[in-house]
């Protein structure tokens, strides 16, 4: 089942002559973990802003083409309607948090939707537990660490029970260990609850292993769209400034040197280490 | 040269962010300060240009104690680029932003023009010269902030999380730029979480934890010592992770570079064949 579909989607910010995104036609299936990447300024954040209707409802400018998300034409449905189906998590959680306590922040969206009190607290508790911040619920979101703040932002989105979560570089301000934990939480939401994940990231070293679909954009256009192993094994992706995972790069280099390795392109250090151990065994 | 001598620093709210830090950074060094969120990294580097003054201990920049000179003098020598570019951008166009400090430092119009052109070109921003910084992407705004500091040619550059929001190519440009700065004898200090960027550039690494320095040395050694990294919430670079798992084969563990990795693996396989 297709959850997100765009056809020739083109958008130009006000006061700018060149479109930031042009002729984007993509499909995202229910339950997929999609990674969107590409050089800075390639249009990936612009595309994400279309998924919940921020474009065109909050950004002026010109949107052309078609977009359907969770069976809704985002240009005809307001963002508060979209919010029930699509949750957006930004790069910097500080911009999203404002309530006096973490649990109130997580409850805010539900209050706005008029969810009955009892159900609301049930959903808040569920979201806080899933993201591992239940014990912090009475603290102010501004006195916890950056990693915990990002969990609050994710919990707030989860409480809305969206079908799709869109995350725009959600861990760039976090230390590597906190970042890894956030990605693990997202990965679990995807695998256990079947929530469709759209993740915008530059750092493929950290994220490629979770993806079952990758979309690479450049200069506002989609240039690769499909299976991550296939796409990250091509030479061209490197040319447009996508940093493929180091493990994948080392694999390509060793293959070129004529080393006999499994044909399934590795996306993580674990996968490559396993292949190398096998390669060494066969040489014994 | 930056000399930090047993520095303690407490914020007005009572939080002690630095608990006795000593460190010497020589001219021309490239240093990466790493550690978990809240370890005191940003607090430490803000002492290098006098934005913060120690509650206890001493900080000397080129022999002069930071408490005995003005921030304006120190700032001319040490350019600081903040983690969040929105904390330093305010002009209506990218060009005005870069010109601002130059005008303040009293450069001549002709020099200002040259410096703007040079800095924007270096950071691939020329096309946005007349654009408002606020219409640009996060990564682009970050580069505008860097351009505005580079333009006045400080001797020391302090970059707080310079790789956030930057794509692979821009990181590569940044890396080459740091190398170029070093050849000019300039000091570059970065605060970063980006282990892969550090692995590619192999600077001196200073690892912090809860307001203290827990390790200080060559990147290749520190980034391949999991016990030390774990206490600072840093994960091993991908290549180091691979070599950790290959340890049973008798290969070295201190490998962080892809091309070093290739040589070592090829050689080891060659030896097995014999």
**pLDDT on residue A211:** 96
Position B231 pLDDT exceeds 90:
no
Q: 10 Å Cβ neighbour count for B228?
A: 18
- Helix, strand, or coil here: A54? helix
Supply the CATH number for residue B28's domain. Answer: 3.40.50.300
Supply the CATH number for residue A106's domain. Answer: 3.40.50.300
Mean pLDDT in residue range B208-230? 94
Q: B67 and B163 share a domain?
A: yes
Contact status of A59 with chain B (Cβ, < 8 Å) = no
- Using an 8 Å Cβ cutoff, are A170 and A207 in contact? no
Q: B186 and B241 share a domain?
A: no
Q: B226 and B156 share a domain?
A: yes
Q: B156 and B261 share a domain?
A: no
Tell me which residue range forms the domain holding A60: 2-241
Q: B132 and B247 share a domain?
A: no
Q: B143 and B267 share a domain?
A: no
Interface with B, mutate which of A169, A177, A219 (most B CBs under 10 A): A177
Q: A181 and A279 share a domain?
A: no
- Using an 8 Å Cβ cutoff, are A198 and A4 in contact? yes
Q: Kind of pairing, strands B56-61 and B2-10? A: antiparallel
- Using an 8 Å Cβ cutoff, are A133 and A155 in contact? yes
Q: B170 and B265 share a domain?
A: no
For residue B230, which residues of chain A lie inside 8 Å, CB to CB? 177
The whole-angstrom distance between B60's CA and the closest CA on chain A is 29
* Pair of tokens at residue A165: 């979560």
**pLDDT on residue A281:** 85
Contact status of A143 with chain B (Cβ, < 8 Å) = no
Q: B224 and B274 share a domain?
A: no
Question: B235 vs A180: CB contact, 8 Å cut-off?
Answer: yes
Contact status of A118 with chain B (Cβ, < 8 Å) = no
Q: A173 and A281 share a domain?
A: no
The whole-angstrom distance between A111's CA and the closest CA on chain B is 31
Q: Tell me: the pLDDT tens digits for A69-92?
A: 999 999 999 888 888 899 988 877
Mean pLDDT in residue range B208-218? 95
For residue A254, which residues of chain B lie inside 8 Å, CB to CB? 262, 265-266
* Phi, psi dihedrals of residue A217, rounded to the nearest 5°: -110, 155
Mean pLDDT in residue range B37-41? 87
Q: Which residue from A254, A269, A284 is facing B262, i.e. has the nearest CB?
A: A254
* Confidence bin at B222 (pLDDT 50/70/90): very high
* Chain-centroid distance, C-alpha A135: 26
Q: A234 and A273 share a domain?
A: no
Identify the closest residue of chain A to B257 by CA–CA distance.
A246
Mean pLDDT in residue range A118-147? 89
Domain count, chain A: 2
Mean pLDDT in residue range B253-267? 95
Which of residues A199 and A177 earns the better pLDDT score? A199
Segment of A79-83, B135-139, B267-271 carrying the highest mean pLDDT = B267-271
* Phi, psi dihedrals of residue A8, rounded to the nearest 5°: 50, 40
Domain count, chain B: 2
Q: A126 and A257 share a domain?
A: no
Q: B127 and B46 share a domain?
A: yes
Stretch among A256-270, B20-34, B70-84, B250-264 having the lowest mean pLDDT: B70-84
For residue A173, which residues of chain B lie inside 8 Å, CB to CB? 37, 83, 161, 164
Q: A134 and A268 share a domain?
A: no
Q: How far apart are CA A82 and CA A78, in angstroms?
A: 6
* Confidence bin at B187 (pLDDT 50/70/90): very high
Q: A214 and A266 share a domain?
A: no
Q: B157 and B265 share a domain?
A: no
* Confidence bin at A231 (pLDDT 50/70/90): very high
Q: B155 and B55 share a domain?
A: yes
Q: A253 and A137 share a domain?
A: no
Position A17 pLDDT exceeds 90:
no
Q: b vs e for B146-164, b when ≥16 Cβ sit within 10 Å of the residue's Cβ?
A: bbbbbbbbbbbbbbbbbbb
Question: What's the ipTM?
Answer: 0.82
Interface with B, mutate which of A205, A232, A257, A278 (most B CBs under 10 A): A205
Tell me which residue range forms the domain holding B253: 237-274
**pLDDT on residue B123:** 85
The whole-angstrom distance between B238's CA and the closest CA on chain A is 6
Q: A272 and A217 share a domain?
A: no
For residue A202, which residues of chain B lie inside 8 Å, CB to CB? 165-168
Among candidate residues B132, B82, B271, B89, the one with its CA nearest the CA of residue A13:
B132
Q: Which residue from A39, A249, A280 is facing B258, i.e. has the nearest CB?
A: A249
Mean pLDDT in residue range A236-261? 86
Identify the closest residue of chain B to A178 by CA–CA distance.
B233
At what angle are helices A269-283 and B258-273 packed, to 10 degrees? 20
Interface with B, mutate which of A176, A178, A251 (most B CBs under 10 A): A176
For residue A13, which residues of chain B lie inside 8 Å, CB to CB? 135
């Amino acid at each position: 089942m297709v959850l997100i579909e765009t056809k020739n989607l083109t958008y130009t910010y006000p006061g700018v002559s060149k479109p930031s995104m042009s002729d984007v036609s993509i499909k995202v299936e229910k339950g997929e973990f999609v990674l969107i990447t590409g050089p800075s300024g390639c249009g990936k954040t612009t595309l994400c802003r279309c998924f919940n209707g921020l474009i065109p409802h909050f950004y002026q400018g010109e949107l052309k083409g078609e977009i359907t998300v969770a069976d809704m034409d985002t240009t005809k449905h307001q963002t508060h309607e979209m919010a029930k189906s699509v949750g957006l998590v930004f790069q910097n959680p500080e911009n999203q948090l404002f309530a006096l306590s973490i649990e109130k922040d997580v409850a805010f969206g539900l209050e706005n939707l008029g969810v009955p009190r009892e159900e609301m607290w049930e959903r808040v508790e569920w979201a806080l537990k899933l993201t591992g911040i239940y014990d912090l619920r009475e603290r102010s979101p501004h006195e916890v660490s950056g990693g915990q703040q990002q969990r609050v932002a994710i919990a707030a989105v989860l409480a809305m029970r969206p079908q799709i979560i869109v995350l725009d570089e959600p861990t760039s301000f976090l230390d590597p260990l906190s970042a890894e934990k956030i990605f693990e939480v997202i990965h679990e939401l995807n695998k256990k609850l079947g929530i469709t994940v759209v993740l915008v990231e530059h750092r493929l070293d950290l994220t490629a292993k979770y993806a079952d679909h990758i979309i690479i954009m450049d200069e506002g256009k989609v240039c690769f769209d499909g299976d991550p192993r296939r796409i990250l094994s091509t030479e061209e992706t490197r040319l447009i400034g996508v940093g493929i995972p180091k493990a994948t790069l080392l694999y390509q280099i060793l293959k070129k040197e004529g080393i006999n390795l499994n044909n399934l392109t590795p996306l993580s250090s674990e996968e490559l280490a396993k292949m190398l151990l096998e390669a060494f065994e066969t040489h014994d | 040269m930056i000399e930090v001598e047993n520095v303690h620093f407490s914020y007005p709210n009572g939080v002690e962010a630095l608990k006795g830090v000593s460190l010497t950074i020589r001219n021309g060094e490239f240093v990466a300060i790493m550690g978990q969120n809240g370890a005191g990294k940003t607090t430490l580097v803000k002492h290098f240009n006098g934005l913060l003054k120690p509650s206890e201990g001493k900080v000397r920049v080129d022999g002069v104690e930071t408490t005995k000179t003005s921030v304006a003098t120190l700032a001319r020598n040490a350019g600081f680029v903040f983690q969040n570019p929105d904390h330093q951008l305010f002009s209506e166009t990218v060009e005005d932003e870069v010109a601002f400090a130059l005008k303040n430092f009293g450069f001549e119009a002709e020099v200002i023009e040259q410096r703007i052109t040079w800095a924007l070109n270096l950071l691939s921003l020329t096309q946005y010269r007349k654009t408002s910084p606020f219409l640009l992407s996060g990564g682009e705004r970050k580069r505008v902030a860097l351009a505005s500091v580079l333009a006045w040619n400080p001797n020391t550059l302090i970059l707080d999380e310079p790789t956030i929001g930057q794509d692979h190519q821009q990181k590569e440009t940044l890396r080459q730029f740091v190398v170029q700065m070093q050849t000019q004898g300039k000091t570059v200090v970065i605060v970063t979480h980006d282990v892969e960027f550090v692995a590619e550039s192999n600077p001196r690494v200073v690892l912090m934890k809860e307001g203290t320095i827990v390790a200080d040395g060559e990147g290749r050694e520190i980034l391949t010592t999991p016990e030390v990294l774990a206490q600072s919430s840093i994960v091993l670079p991908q290549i180091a992770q691979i070599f950790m798992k290959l340890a049973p084969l008798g290969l070295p563990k201190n490998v962080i570079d892809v091309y070093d990795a290739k040589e070592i693996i090829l050689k080891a396989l060659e030896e097995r064949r014999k």
